[in-house]
Chain A
Amino acid sequence: MPNASEFPRIETGAAEWVEVDVDGQPIQVRAGDSAAAAVLAAGLLPSRSTPVNNSPRAPYCMMGVCFECLLEIDGMENVQGCMTEVRPGMQIRRQQGARHAEPVTHDHEDRQS
């Protein structure tokens, strides 16, 4: 898929730059950027598809509310990309469909009942 919708960057103050890997592409980002920001900067949308209907999604709120930014980060699935700061060499993968390991939520008991 072409990188159709890269988020451009305006003139920013001095900062370190960090290289991360998004789905095999090396991407330069500012230190302090979130992993979700790195995916948007790379224009790699959709950033995931849903477990229910495989529908395409992308970060929506960037503040930890919507969980649309779930990514695989350094081998860990279902990590909230907008709440995770980049580290040099971070391996970021877009998620497709259902995951193997679901995070523990308060609702597991409901599901069984």
Chain B
Amino acid sequence: MNSDTYDLAIVGAGPAGMAAARTAAAQDLSIVLLDEQPAPGGQIYRSIRRPAPEDRRILGPDYYHGETLVRDLDHARIEYRSGTTVWALDDDHTLCASSPEGSTRIRAKRILLATGAQERPVPFPGWTLPGVMTCGAAQILLKSSGLVPSQPLVLAGSGPLLLLIAAQLHRAGVAIEAVLDTTPAGRYLDALPHLPGALRNLPLLWKGLGLLRELKQAGIKRFTQVSDLRALANKEGLLHQVQFHAKNATHRLPAQSLLVHQGVVPNVQLSRALGLEHRWHELQQCWHPVTNNWGETSREGVFISGDSAGIAGAKAAEQAGNLVALEVARQLNRLSTTQRDEQACPALKDLAKERAIRPFLDALYQPARSFLSPSDETLVCRCEEVSAGELRQMVDEGCRGPNQTKAFCRSGMGPCQGRLCGLTVSQVIAEHRRVPVEEVGYYQIRMPIKPLTLGELADLHE
């Protein structure tokens, strides 16, 4: 067991956590950086130390930007620990973590949770079939292993990552049967008022248009305003067709793989387990923990930055991580308030630019209603196999929130601890009760936030 006290313990070695570590190390703080992945990089820069694809054009220059961040972790003041999952945080700033070597406790004066985002759950009929996975899952397989989905391949969903991953797979030589864009027609009008903000970040807008152009030039079929998505199984129970509605007709495409995506949402598992205040973000249709401008939460000394504090993308995550490091340096008397403010200027400027485009993207790519509150037949909780219809029936019988439906039907009680149904359950209940999502709330999440073996628990008592 390790009883050292660090100045700053960071959970998550994505852009937010890595930037915070670099900036804090420059202020001579002692840092421990913990991440459950085998190597640093987070989601965007996953496997950046050893990307599998030989051809650098496949993942593109934005990915290789991560090389500098990872290189800077090589610093005497930064102790990076890979393969280390944090599953609890005590009141006295002690983290409990497990790695293949066993469980340990780690104490620090300040804590930063930079645990990033997960893809939004995309419930629709057939989404549990083998052959259906998220776009992000396919990207992880590409970055870390050079594996690409079996074909015929169809992609379906909405958002910039859908287009990016389609382009990356195309560059990797994968034949794409079709891209099904589920963005509803009305979203373009909804996004229009937010265009001025988006124009403050022209390079990013330009990149998005570039991806669309790239897919078009590659001759990849793209259906727009797709609805009624459905994955169909063969007699072995594996995906073999994708059915959908577009252009006033129902279509069916052969598919061994269907990649789905409806944007990303903050990973709130730890912040929820800590009982921190969370708010509902109407445009992004997800929860986020409440922090001040420096990333500090209502729990003194506990900070959250990057996509786990609210979705703003990798560049914003980097800058938000820098701000936390500067504020921690001030709190631990390494910087005066004036010095902190001076050093924070460039980060604040960049952050404002990155955040300015979000309302446009959020309005444009808000998932279609059918993915937020799916049809009765659709499974919502994959672990305990509870459908949207069953949830609605429980509401009719008097259930008012997710913790009550949980008690009745075990939704959210499986191994994923609600990560893949929590958002949907709250939304289905809210819609059926005709009340705002905030009124319905979220699952009560408890520590440990990952299932543990008895051995892992026993280690801590030795």
Q: Which residues of A does B touch, CB under 8 Å?
A: 1, 4-13, 15, 29-30, 32-34, 37, 40-41, 43, 45-47, 50, 52-53, 55-68, 70, 78, 82-83, 85, 103-107, 110-111
**In this assembly, does B354 line the interface, its C-beta being within 8 Å of a C-beta of chain A?**
no
Residue contact A104 to B136, C-beta cutoff 8 Å = no
Interface string of B39-56 (1 = CB under 8 A from A): 000010001001111110
Within 8 A of A (CB), among B394-419: 406-407, 413-417, 419
Partner of B145, one of A30, A53, A105: A30
Residue contact A64 to B36, C-beta cutoff 8 Å = yes
Q: Which residues of A contact B238 (CB under 8 A)?
A: 4-5, 45-46, 56
Q: Which 8 A-B pairs have the closest CB atoms?
A: A58-B130, A103-B451, A12-B146, A62-B137, A67-B415, A45-B130, A106-B446, A56-B237
Residue contact B38 to A65, C-beta cutoff 8 Å = no
Residue contact B54 to A40, C-beta cutoff 8 Å = no
Ordered by A's residue number, 11 sampled pairs between the chains whose C-beta atoms are within 8 Å are A15-B52, A30-B146, A37-B144, A45-B130, A53-B385, A56-B238, A60-B133, A60-B382, A61-B136, A61-B137, A67-B416
**In this assembly, does B178 line the interface, its C-beta being within 8 Å of a C-beta of chain A?**
no
**In this assembly, does B276 line the interface, its C-beta being within 8 Å of a C-beta of chain A?**
no
Closest B residue to A14 by beta carbon equals: B54
Closest A residue to B267 by beta carbon equals: A65
**In this assembly, does B150 line the interface, its C-beta being within 8 Å of a C-beta of chain A?**
yes
Report the Cα distance A20→B416, complex, angstroms: 27
Residue contact B54 to A11, C-beta cutoff 8 Å = yes
Report the Cα distance A13→B146, complex, angstroms: 9
The number of residue pairs between A and B whose CB atoms lie closer than 8 Å in the complex comes to 174
Residue contact B383 to A56, C-beta cutoff 8 Å = no
Residue contact B385 to A57, C-beta cutoff 8 Å = no
Classify chain B's interface size: 35 or more
Rounded to whole Å, the gap between the CB of A62 and the closest CB of chain B is 4
**In this assembly, does B140 line the interface, its C-beta being within 8 Å of a C-beta of chain A?**
yes
**In this assembly, does B290 line the interface, its C-beta being within 8 Å of a C-beta of chain A?**
no
Closest B residue to A70 by beta carbon equals: B415
Residue contact B130 to A57, C-beta cutoff 8 Å = yes
Residue contact B147 to A8, C-beta cutoff 8 Å = yes
Report the Cα distance A82→B172, complex, angstroms: 22
Rounded to whole Å, the gap between the CB of A98 and the closest CB of chain B is 12
Residue contact B415 to A61, C-beta cutoff 8 Å = no
Rounded to whole Å, the gap between the CB of A4 and the closest CB of chain B is 7
**In this assembly, does B173 line the interface, its C-beta being within 8 Å of a C-beta of chain A?**
yes
Interface string of B137-158 (1 = CB under 8 A from A): 1001110111111100000000
Known A47-B130, A55-B385, A61-B118; contact A32-B145, beta-carbon cutoff 8 A: yes
Q: Which residues of B contact A56 (CB under 8 A)?
A: 129-130, 236-238
Interface string of B411-450 (1 = CB under 8 A from A): 0011111011000000000000000000000000111110
Rounded to whole Å, the gap between the CB of B365 and the closest CB of chain A is 19
